[in-house]
Structure 1
Amino acid sequence: MSAKHFINDPTHLVLTALRSITLTNPATALDQDNKIVYRRPDSSYSSQVSIISGGGSGHEPSFAAFVGRGLLSGAVAGTIFASPSAEQIRRCILERVDPEKGVLVVVMNYTGDVLNFGMAVEKAKANGLDVEMVVVGDDAGVGREQGGKVGRRGIAGTVLVQKIAGALAASGASLKEVHNVAQLTADNVVSIGSSLSHVHVPGRSDVETSDLAANEVEIGMGIHNEPGSERSTGDLSAIVKQMLAHMLDPDDKDRAFLSVSKSDETVLLVNNLGGVSVLEMGGITSEVVDQLLSNYGIEPVRILSGTYMTSLNGLGFSISLLKLTDLGLSSGKSMLELLDAPAEATGWSAAINTKTWQNKGDVTQEQKESDGVEAKASNLTFDPALARSALTNALNRLISAESDITNYDTIVGDGDCGTGLRRGAESILSLFKESSSSSGDAAVFLDSIISVVEKSMDGTSGALYAIFLNALAHGLRSQSGAQPEPATVKVWANALESATNSLSKYTPAKRGDRTVVDALSPFVDTLSKTGSVKGAAEAAGAGARSTKGMKASLGRTVYVGGEGWQSVPDPGAHGLAVFLIGLSDGLQ
Structure 2
Amino acid sequence: MSAKHFINDPTHLVNTALLALTHTNPSVTVDLANKIAYHAPPTPQVSIVSGGGSGHEPSFSSFVGAGLLSGAVAGTIFASPSAEQVRRCILHRVDKSKGVLVVVMNYTGDVLNFGMAVEKARSRGVEVDMVVVGDDVGVGRKRGGKVGRRGIAGTCLVQKIAGALAAKGASLKDVSRIAQLTADNIVSIGSSLSHVHVPGRKTDGGEDELKESEIEIGMGIHNEPGSERRTTDLPELVKTMLSYCLDKSDKDRNFLDISDEDEFVLLVNNLGGVSVLELGGITNEVVEQLADDWKIKPVRILSGTYMTSLNGLGFSISLLKVTDTGLGDEKSMVKLLDAPAEATGWAAAVTGDAWAKGADLAKARRGSDEEEVEPSNLRSAEPDVTNYDTIVGDGDCGIGLKRGAEAILQMLDRTKQTEDPLIFLQNVIQVVELAMDGTSGAIYAIFLNALAHGLRQNSPSSPAPITPQIWAKALESSLQALGKYTPAKPGDRTLIDALYPFVDTLSKTGNVDSAAKAADQGAQGTKGMKASLGRTVYVGGEGWENVPDPGAHGLAELLLGLNEGLNK
Quickly name the TM-score band, shorter chain normalised: 0.5 to 0.7
Does 2:117 match 1:101?
Answer: no
Distance 2:205 2:35 in 1: 28
In the alignment, structure 1 residue 311 sits paired with structure 2 residue 302: no
**Which of 215, 232, 236 is matched with 2:213 structurally?**
215
Equivalent in the alignment of 1:571: none
Residues 154-193 of structure 1 show CA distances to partners (whole Å, capped at 9, x for unaligned) of 0000000000000000000000000000000000000000
Deviation at 1:333, TM superposition (A): 1.6
Aligned to 1:205: 202
Q: CA deviation at 1:349?
A: 2.1
Q: Following the alignment from structure 1 to structure 2, what is the Cα–Cα distance between the partners of residues 114 and 291?
A: 35
Who is 1:191 aligned against? 188
Q: CA deviation at 1:17?
A: 0.5
* 1:57 CA drift (Å): 0.3
How far apart are 1:232 and its partner, in Å?
1.4
Whether the 8 Å contact between 1:188 and 1:322 is mirrored in structure 2 is yes
Structure 1: distance between partners of 2:327 and 2:302: 25
For 2:329 and 2:185, locate their aligned partners in 1 and report how far apart those are by CA, in whole Å. Answer: 21
SS at match of 2:310: coil
1:268 aligns with 2:284: no
Distance across 1 between alignment mates of 2:205 and 2:85: 31
Residues 106, 100 of structure 1: CA spacing in aligned structure 2 closer, same or farther, 3 A cutoff?
A: same
Q: Which residue of 2 aligns with 1:49?
A: 46
The code of the aligned residue for 2:60 comes to: F
Separation (CA, whole Å) in 2 of partners of 1:26 and 1:110: 31
Between the aligned partners of 1:285 and 1:222, the Cα distance in structure 2 is 20
* Alpha-carbon distance, 1:330 to partner: 5.8
1:521-540 aligned at under 5 Å gives the runs none
Question: In terms of Rg, which structure is larger?
Answer: 2
Return the TM-score normalized by structure 1.
Answer: 0.58
Report the Cα offset of residue 261 of structure 1: 2.8
CA deviation string 1:347-372 (max 9, x = no partner): 01268xxxxxxxxxxxxxxxxxxxxx
Contact 2:329–2:335 (CA<8 Å) still a contact in 1?
Answer: no
Name the counterpart of 1:166.
Answer: 163
Unpaired runs of 5+ residues, structure 2, are 350-568
CA distance in 2, matches of 1:241, 1:260: 18
The residue that corresponds to 1:133 in the other structure is 130
For 1:12 and 1:262, the matched residues in 2 are separated by 50
Stretches of structure 1 lacking an aligned partner (at least 5 in a row): 352-588
Structure 1 Cα separation of the partners of residues 261 and 181 of structure 2: 19
Q: Distance in 2 between matches of 1:71 and 1:335?
A: 14
1:10 is aligned to 10
Task: Tell me the residue number matched to 1:281.
Answer: 279
Shift of 1:208: 3.8
Indicate the structure whose relative CO is greater, using CA pairs within 8 Å and at least 6 residues apart. 1
Aligned length: 348
| TM-score using structure 2 length | 0.61
Distance 1:194 1:347 in 2: 22
Q: 2:341 aligns with which of 316, 340, 343?
A: 343
In structure 2, relative to structure 1, the CA distance for the partners of 1:206 and 1:166 (3 Å cut) is: same
Match of 2:120 in 1: 123
Amino acid at match of 1:112: G
Amino acid at match of 2:88: R
Which residue does the alignment assign to 1:227?
A: 225
Shift of 1:262: 2.8
Equivalent residue number for residue 242 of structure 2: 244
2:55 pairs with one of 55, 58, 80 = 58
How far residue 142 of structure 1 moved from its aligned partner, in angstroms, is 1.0
- Assess if the C-alpha contact under 8 Å between 2:304 and 2:347 holds in 1: no
| Distance (whole Å) between structure 2 residues aligned to residue 246 and residue 176 of structure 1 | 33
Shift of 1:213: 1.1
Map of 2:69 onto structure 1? 72
Distance in 1 separating the partners of 2:347 and 2:269: 13
* Maintained 8 Å contact 1:232/1:239: no
**Contact 1:248/1:259 (8 A) holds in 2:** no
Q: What's the counterpart of residue 28 of structure 1?
A: 28
Task: Determine helix, strand or coil for the equivalent of 2:337.
Answer: helix
Q: Kindly provide the amino acid, as one letter, of the partner of residue 284 in structure 2.
A: S
- 268 and 331 in structure 1: CA distance in 2 versus 1, 3 angstrom threshold: closer
Alpha-carbon shift at residue 205 of structure 1 (Å): 1.5
Partner residue of 2:111? Answer: 114
C-alpha deviations, 1:448-474, integer Å up to 9, x for none? xxxxxxxxxxxxxxxxxxxxxxxxxxx
The whole-number CA distance in structure 1 between the counterparts of 2:306 and 2:121 is 29
What is aligned with 1:146?
143
Q: Would the alpha carbon gap of residues 331 and 277 (structure 1) be closer, same or farther in structure 2, given more than 3 Å must change?
A: closer
Give me the whole-angstrom Cα distance separating, in 1, the residues matched to 2:99 and 2:149. 28
User: How far apart, CA to CA, are the structure 1 residues paired with 2:245 and 2:299?
Assistant: 18
Letter in 1 for 2:45: Q
In 2, Cα distance between the equivalents of 1:180 and 1:294? 34
Rounded to whole Å, the distance in 1 between the matches of 2:298 and 2:258 is 11
SS at match of 2:65: coil
Residue 198 of structure 1 aligns with an amino acid whose one-letter code is: H
Which residue does the alignment assign to 2:470? none
Q: What is the rounded CA distance, in whole Å, between the counterparts of 2:234 and 2:330 in structure 1? A: 41
Give the Cα–Cα distance (whole angstroms) in 1 for the partners of residues 205 and 335 of structure 2. Answer: 44
RMSD of aligned C-alpha atoms? 1.1
2:258 is aligned with what amino acid? Answer: V
CA contact (8 A) 1:3 1:207 kept: no
**Percent identity of paired positions between Structure 1 and Structure 2:** 75
Partner SS for 1:255: coil
Q: CA contact under 8 A between 1:262 and 1:296: conserved in structure 2?
A: no
State the Cα distance separating 1:304 from its structure 2 match.
0.2
- Does the 8 Å CA contact 1:261/1:298 hold for their aligned counterparts? no
| Counterpart residue type for residue 348 of structure 1 | W
Match of 1:89 in 2: 86
Give the partner amino acid of 1:205.
Answer: K
In structure 1, how many angstroms separate the alpha carbons of the residues matched to 2:216 and 2:67? 35
Measured in 2, the distance between the counterparts of 1:2 and 1:197 equals: 9
CA distance in 2, matches of 1:88, 1:235: 44
**Does the CA contact (< 8 Å) of 1:60 and 1:310 recur in 2?**
yes
CA offsets 1:316-366 (integer angstroms, 9 cap, x no match)? 000000000000116752100000000000001268xxxxxxxxxxxxxxx
Kept in 2: contact 1:93–1:99 (CA 8 A): yes
Preserved contact between residue 200 and residue 207 of structure 1 (Cα < 8 Å): no
Residue 222 of structure 1 aligns with an amino acid whose one-letter code is: G
Change (3 A) 1:200 1:207: farther
CA–CA distance in structure 2, aligned partners of residues 350 and 149 of structure 1: 35
Residue pair 2:302, 2:348 contacting (<8 A) in 1 also: no
Q: Separation in 2 of the partners of 1:37 and 1:208?
A: 36
